[in-house]
Amino acid sequence: MAVKNDLIAKIQAHEARVGIVGLGYVGLPLVLRFGEEHFPVLGFDVDPVKVRKLQAGESYIRHIPAERLRVLIKEKQFEPTTDFQRLAEADCIIICVPTPLTPKKDPDLQYIENTTDAISRTLRKGQLVCLESTTYPGTTEEILLERFRSTGLEAGSDYFLIFSPEREDPGNPKFSTRTIPKVVGGITPDCLEVGTTLYGQVIDRVVPVSSTRAAELVKLLENIYRSVNIALVNELKLLGDRMNIDVWEVIDAASTKPFGFTPFYPGPGLGGHCIPIDPFYLSWKAKEYDFSTRFIQLAGEVNTSIPHYVVERIGKVLNDRARSIRDSKILILGVAYKKDVDDVRESPALEIMEILQAKGAVLSYSDPYIPRLHKMRAYDFSHMSSLPLNEDVLKSQDLVLITTDHSSIDYQWVVDHASSIVDTRNATRRVTRGREKIVKA
């Protein structure tokens, strides 16, 4: 009890040092939130290039202003490091590492496992450990708790272990880290008390749940809900194409119903670090219980088929002009996974590009937020840089494929100068001239 009370007092006084492991799209907003509430923050990352940039007060994420980071570094509220031995200095450790899939669509937990092992080497009495990385129910107990047993410390009395799913939405102007409610589940009631106390200092509303397993499933439900509904409208898009009905018009009209309907919109496929991945985590875990998540798997099948459908539409447009995909010049307009962000993780544009490249297309791209592509786990377009979006570039292309509807782009101007447009985002809905050039996909 004394260990818990001492840590809670330290947290409430904002004297607890917060260690954040993984300084990316989830970790850096937490750095700002805790640092700007005057908590001392240690940031850990395995990428020395990233750490050096942060130490110099540079931001590599567009929606995180460098000035806010520089203020924290100047005031010694934030110190980035690659030295994981320093985890012992942190009173509260928050894990924000990736949880990708293997090539066989199984959970890849190597980053959680490696981080857990690093924490195990320095774990001490009076520390709180929180996992924020999206994962299947049971991960906190089966991986973190089990590996921490080797330290001889007991969760709930010597140290405290919780799960709190990240809910970042880059580029969303309506919500921030502070205003998005925070779900927290603990291994024990004392763990939960410490965890809710920590997040209660920096988040407007904390939502406690009964266990880490419940908190882990909360995150999966949120994203599976979106995945299933996006699959529904994607399937309606395929049907609408055959029936010559504009599904976007249908959705907009249905949205006027003031009850019982929430609009979801089709696109070129699923993107981002959550929705394309999370359903597979739950489907994989469900097999342990001899349970088939048929609804979730069907949604996954629909959504993963959409990039192939887009390529088919491209082929038809080019065929109507007596051309084939092979040797045709195709400009990909937008490679970020959603509009107005500089994030390409799991972007459906990359899957479409890979399919087109295999068919012999001559590819280029233009994206105001992604000046250059880098090598990723599943794709390597590191030889490609964004082309300037000008009249000469547009006129040199056989087709322009809109895969991300960035707000800064004048789509009427694009249509004016392009010979053919395939629009996967309904970005050209307000275009008045040249609509005969546009095909929706």
pLDDT 10s digit of each residue in the chain, 441 long?
A: 899 999 999 999 999 999 999 999 999 999 999 999 999 999 999 999 999 999 999 998 888 889 999 999 999 999 999 999 999 999 999 999 999 888 888 899 999 999 999 999 999 999 999 999 999 999 999 999 999 999 999 999 999 999 999 998 877 788 899 999 999 999 999 999 999 999 999 999 999 999 999 999 999 999 999 999 999 999 999 999 999 999 999 999 999 999 999 999 999 988 766 677 888 888 899 999 999 999 898 998 899 999 999 999 999 999 999 999 999 999 999 999 999 999 998 899 999 999 999 999 999 999 999 999 988 877 889 999 999 999 999 999 999 999 999 999 999 999 999 999 999 999 999 999 999 999 999
Which residues belong to the active site?
A: 274
pLDDT number for residue 1: 83
Residue 107 β-bridge partners? 101
> 2-210 sits in which CATH class?
alpha beta
Tell me, letter by letter, the H, E, C secondary structure of the chain.
Answer: CHHHHHHHHHHHCCCCCEEEECCCCCHHHHHHHHHHCCCCEEEECCCHHHHHHHHCCCCCCCCCCHHHHHHHHHCCCEEEECCHHHHHHCCEEEECCCCCECCCCCECCHHHHHHHHHHHCCCCCCCEEEECCCCCCCHHHHHHHHHHHHHCCCECCCEEEEECCCCCCCCCCCCCCCCCCEEEEECCHHHHHHHHHHHHCCCCCEEEECCHHHHHHHHHHHHHHHHHHHHHHHHHHHHHHHHCCCHHHHHHHHCCCCCCCCCCCCCCCCCCCCCCCHHHHHHHHHHHHCCCCHHHHHHHHHHHHHHHHHHHHHHHHHHHCCCCCCCCEEEEECCCCCCCCCCCCCCHHHHHHHHHHHCCCEEEEECCCCCECCECCCCECCCCECCCCCHHHHHCCCEEEECCCCCCCCHHHHHHHCCCEEECCCCCCCCCCCHHHEEEC
pLDDT number for residue 376: 83
Q: Are 16 and 91 in contact (CB under 8 A)?
A: yes
pLDDT number for residue 273: 65
Token pair for residue 37? Answer: 């509430």
| CATH code at 226-440 | 3.40.50.720
Please state, in angstroms and rounded to a whole number, the distance separating the CA atoms of residues 42 and 122.
Answer: 15
pLDDT number for residue 62: 83
Q: Residue ranges of the domains in the chain?
A: 2-210, 226-440
- Whether 226-440 and 2-210 are alike in CATH topology: the answer is yes
pLDDT number for residue 375: 87
